[in-house]
Amino acid sequence: MKIKMLTSMSGPEVQRNRGDVIEVSADEAVRLAEAGFAELVRSEPPDRAVKQGTAEKAVK
């Protein structure tokens, strides 16, 4: 689950800055969001490819 950090957080093996968007487990995401350290990032649906039509031709 993706989250956006609202505060900086560091430890012996990790450094996360305010504004970083990171992937964490669902449990970790909920815990950080409830503590006010992060907010959940809603995933956007992927863009759909649009088939291009044929070009119009001028009529004589």
pLDDT of residue 53: 74
- In the chain, which ranges are E strands? 2-5, 9-10, 15-16, 21-23, 38-40
What is the rounded end-to-end Cα distance, in angstroms, of the chain?
A: 59
pLDDT of residue 51: 77
Domain holding 13, by residue range, is: 2-40
Going from the first residue of the chain to its last (60 residues), give the mean pLDDT of each consecutive group of 10, the final group possibly shorter. Answer: 95 94 95 96 77 77
Task: Tell me, yes or no, whether 13 lies in a domain.
Answer: yes
Task: Tell me, yes or no, whether 48 lies in a domain.
Answer: no
Task: Give dist(CA 22, CA 27) in Å, integer.
Answer: 14
Task: Tell me, yes or no, whether 49 lies in a domain.
Answer: no
Task: Tell me, yes or no, whether 46 lies in a domain.
Answer: no
| pTM of the predicted structure, to 2 decimals | 0.67
Task: Give dist(CA 34, CA 47) in Å, integer.
Answer: 31
Number of structural domains (the chain) is 1
Looking at residue 7, what DSSP letter applies? S
Task: Tell me, yes or no, whether 27 lies in a domain.
Answer: yes
